[in-house]
Amino acid sequence: MDDAIKWVRLDILDQLEQDNSAMVEFEAGFLRNGRLDGLHERSEFVYQQGRWWYTCGKHLPLSHKPRKPGSNEGCPCGSGVKYKRCCGR
């Protein structure tokens, strides 16, 4: 796992469960080295031995370009501090 990444947002866009398989489409936002970026993926899962297991995923284009917070806005990491005093340094 990359210690320079901090996950800040998760939006579930779609989900489908059928028998022992499922699909989840999501967009996630993260900060890496003070820059906001995102990930859009459709993930496949299978239910075996009482647990859901990730099998594969397909990366998709983001629905919108991640916006860098203004320096006086709250930091998207959730610290409660302005972006310029937190991850924007």
At 2, the pLDDT band (50, 70, 90 cuts) reads low
Question: Which one has a higher pLDDT value, 56 or 68?
Answer: 56
Residue 65 CA to residue 59 CA, distance in Å, equals 15
Sequence-ordered list of residues with C-beta below 8 angstroms from that of 43, at least 6 positions apart, any chain = 23, 24, 25, 26, 54, 56, 57
**Average pLDDT, stretch 57-78?**
82
Per-domain residue ranges of the chain: 5-85
CA 36 to chain centre: 11
Sequence-ordered list of residues with C-beta below 8 angstroms from that of 23, at least 6 positions apart, any chain = 14, 15, 16, 42, 43, 44, 45
Residue 50 CA to residue 33 CA, distance in Å, equals 38
CATH of 5-85, one of 3.30.420.40, 3.10.450.50, 2.30.130.10, 3.20.20.70: 3.10.450.50
pLDDT at 80 over 90: no
**Average pLDDT, stretch 44-69?**
90
